[in-house]
Structure 1
Amino acid sequence: MLSEKSTATVRATLPAVGAAVGDIAELFYQKLFAAHPALLRDLFNRGNQSSGLQKQALAGSIAAFATHLVQHPDTRPDVMLNRIAHKHASLGVTREQYPVVHQHLFEAIAEVLGDAVTPEVAQAWDEVYWLMANALIAIEERLHAEQRVLAGEVWREWTVAARTEETADCATFHLTPADGRRAPGFKPGQYVSVQVELPDGARQIRQYSLSTSPGSPVRAITVKRVHGPAAGGPDGEVSHHLHTRVHPGDTLRVSAPYGDLTLKDSTAPVLLASAGIGCTPMLSMLEHLADTAHTAPVTVLHADRTPADHPLRSDHRALTHKLPAATARFWYEESAEPGDAAGRMDLTDVPVAPGTRAYLCGPLPFMRSVREQLLGKGVAAADIHYEVFGPDMWLASA
């Protein structure tokens, strides 16, 4: 809880800080990477830095956290904190890095806002920072304890046992622990971080959802190669590396599993909606539902550019057919086949059972559209859960 004095100061200065928070975030990263270049090389996603997404997410999360403290002083924005903490845990972030961030962030605040940063203002925003940082540290340490790992020691070597080409741009890597020890358990919907050494020596990290169920003897990740301006460049460098350089027999450095979008064990109806490579956590959930003989209605929805671009399409259908009360509907912008729908996902004619729990994964505009349609069909907002690949711009702007 923010102190009464600091609450008044933060409330008074929030408009000015909020208006400048983008500039503050940009200067912060400049200062951080100038002092600690290894963080950009080996921890932060260079693609998200280049595109500005990480700066936007940081700025949005700080503003959202401070706003919540002022407007709801007796609660914390736990959804946002949990999502950030899972990302940090999977990257191996440690408590020792928070004072480093604090130093450069507050240097940036002082430089951008100038004389407006009085000692009283600095103290109030310092309190905001450490409330957020200490909350994240506590959550991250709990997550590490659940995985029985130490902070910063989340990595293990895994062997690529097999590789399957799913589409022209998607490949599944089937993984087994290189040390022969038992694979860590995970919840359907969670992801792992994968760290690869690139030609320039950087050890870049990306998160990939586990696309098989916890009951599967082999872990699998399905990776889509990023195309467009980023192909072979910062945005697509890890996916490009995995597609062109990693084959059966090779090893990968993989984190323990994390992620807050997880299938809740219950007898409630389930709806799984995805687009593009967003089907991967949905496939893990779907396989788990089939493994546990889920009897309530399951609605499987997917949207893609064409059937040929739909990763794991045959698995999507086969797993749906294993469930006694499951239906699947696919939408394709081009080349829709008989039985499939043309265009973007439209839930007008999709029946949604009362009490449905919905899980979404895909591009942010897709999830916004599906969420609005589900709310219109009476699904409770608390029962609609989602996963974002990369910085969570939805939470940061919420």
Structure 2
Amino acid sequence: MDSHKKEIIKATVPALEQHGTTITKVFYQTMFKKHPELLDMFNQTNQKVGDQPKALAFTVLQAARHIDNLEAIVPAVIGIAHKHRALNVLPEHYPIVGENLLIGIKEVLGDAATPEIMDAWEEYYGEIAQIFIDVENGMYQNADWDGFVPFEVVKKDHLSDDIVRYTVKNDTVEYDLRAGQYITVKVDPTDYPNEALRHYSICSINTDEGLQFAVKKEGAGETSGVVSHYMHDGVKVGDTLELSAPAGDFLLNHEEDKFLFIAGGVGATPVMAMIEEAIAADKDSKFIYSVQNAGMHPFKDEMKAFGEEIDVKIKYSDTEGYLTHEDFEGLTDRSVYICGSMHFMNAMIKVLSEVGFKEENIHFEPFGPKMSVIGETVAASN
């Protein structure tokens, strides 16, 4: 891009800061109206509560802020690209997104979105889209299998009041799991107009009985999770689920020697596999887990077994309160791996920063659009 157009893009940053989420809400509404087939790929609950528009708005904002140094957003690009590969997002989808994103910018900014601004953003979007396409092409080539393949449900274990672990098998495919990865399930829920795709974290690196992942039954009423309720109530042992290959960049860095694992609620799911991997590698590890109460506490037996190998602290928020600064004092020399809800993630990252953990040593995976967590963290620090 020439320098003049770059300056135009940078000049739009204040407008994106003010109107970004409104722009992306218009974008999604317009795109889904024109291309209802894409509803399959998006979590409609995240649309309703606003997490997905917020995440996209911050991604677009970061792209504008870093137009002179796109390397700064490479980690975010890689994380999003993993999700895209898992959902089977293809190059032909990008022009659709670009067209409707530009419509959102024009509709919200009105006369302020001059032809010169729109032309600059059209060219810049094309450059960003090509970066994603190139990154995702490599991920498709390296995936353990292509597209979605059938797995049989061989076990269904109720781990807590609202969490179920599924063990699934397909003896015709080979895979090489890494702790922290997730699989993507494609289902056709009863009384739902579309197929639906959801990411679920792998909860063990032990695949002797099959691939294991856990699902929390999310929400109620208008914000109830379509797929999670269907999985809990409609999927039974012997049924078939379609899965795409493991994906994700929330992985242990084995060059680090001392780990602190932090999880809240169902956020324990990927962390369980990571602790298995850390123990197998003889890493100095500690685990701090927050959950509402004993009835909501999954993986009780596994955590008890971990306690024989590493230091494990479990805190029930109903009776002992939430995690605070005191829970992390004296641990700032450790690399942190943290997972939980969006609210939990935002609170914990703030606390860890205030205690003195270095930003580069905090690795996280929220159960929701990651960029909305990054966005709120950045906003809180400004």
- Matches of 1:237 and 1:211 in 2, distance apart? 22
Secondary structure in structure 2 of the residue aligned to 1:98: helix
- Matches of 1:297 and 1:212 in 2, distance apart? 19
In structure 1, the partner of 2:35 is 36
In structure 1, the partner of 2:168 is 175
| Percent identity (aligned) | 29
Moved more, 380-389 or 128-137: 128-137
Displacement of 1:278: 0.1
Q: Is it true that 1:257 corresponds to 2:236 in the alignment?
A: no
- Matches of 1:30 and 1:85 in 2, distance apart? 23
Q: Specify the code of the residue in structure 1 equivalent to 2:373.
A: W
- Matches of 1:215 and 1:160 in 2, distance apart? 14
In structure 2, the partner of 1:211 is 203
Q: Specify the code of the residue in structure 2 equivalent to 1:165.
A: H
Moved more, 17-26 or 273-282: 17-26
In structure 1, the partner of 2:54 is 56
Which of 320, 323, 331 pairs up with 2:315?
Answer: 331
Q: Per-residue CA shift, 1:328-370, capped at 9, x if unaligned?
A: 00111235xxxxxx11113525565564211000123333333
Which of 267, 285, 290 pairs up with 1:298?
Answer: 285
Asked whether the equivalents of residues 61 and 395 of structure 1 are also in contact (C-alpha less than 8 Å), the reply is: no
Q: Per-residue CA shift, 1:4-36, capped at 9, x if unaligned?
A: 111211122322243232232122122211111
Displacement of 1:58: 1.4
In structure 1, the partner of 2:82 is 86
Structure 2 unmatched ranges of 5 or more: none
Q: Specify the code of the residue in structure 2 equivalent to 1:255.
A: S
User: 1:214–1:188: structure 2 CA closer, same or farther, 3 Å change rule?
Assistant: farther
In structure 2, the partner of 1:338 is none
Structure 1 unmatched ranges of 5 or more: 336-341
The two structures have a TM-score, normalised by structure 2, of: 0.91
Q: Is it true that 1:6 corresponds to 2:2 in the alignment?
A: no
Q: Specify the code of the residue in structure 1 equivalent to 2:78.
A: N
Q: Specify the code of the residue in structure 1 equivalent to 2:252.
A: L
In structure 2, the partner of 1:339 is none
Q: Is it true that 1:282 corresponds to 2:271 in the alignment?
A: yes
Asked whether the equivalents of residues 144 and 245 of structure 2 are also in contact (C-alpha less than 8 Å), the reply is: no
Secondary structure in structure 2 of the residue aligned to 1:55: helix
User: 1:45–1:348: structure 2 CA closer, same or farther, 3 Å change rule?
Assistant: same
- Matches of 2:366 and 2:79 in 1, distance apart? 10
Query: Which is richer in helix?
Result: 2
Displacement of 1:74: 6.2
Asked whether the equivalents of residues 192 and 208 of structure 1 are also in contact (C-alpha less than 8 Å), the reply is: yes
Q: Per-residue CA shift, 1:175-203, capped at 9, x if unaligned?
A: 111xx224421211011111110123421
Displacement of 1:227: 3.0
In structure 2, the partner of 1:155 is 148
Which of 226, 230, 234 pairs up with 1:245?
Answer: 234
Displacement of 1:241: 0.5
Moved more, 162-171 or 312-321: 312-321
User: 1:216–1:65: structure 2 CA closer, same or farther, 3 Å change rule?
Assistant: farther
- Matches of 1:354 and 1:386 in 2, distance apart? 16
The two structures have a TM-score, normalised by structure 1, of: 0.88
Q: Specify the code of the residue in structure 1 equivalent to 2:179.
A: P
Displacement of 1:81: 1.0
Which of 55, 62, 65 pairs up with 2:63?
Answer: 65
Which of 151, 160, 176 pairs up with 1:185?
Answer: 176
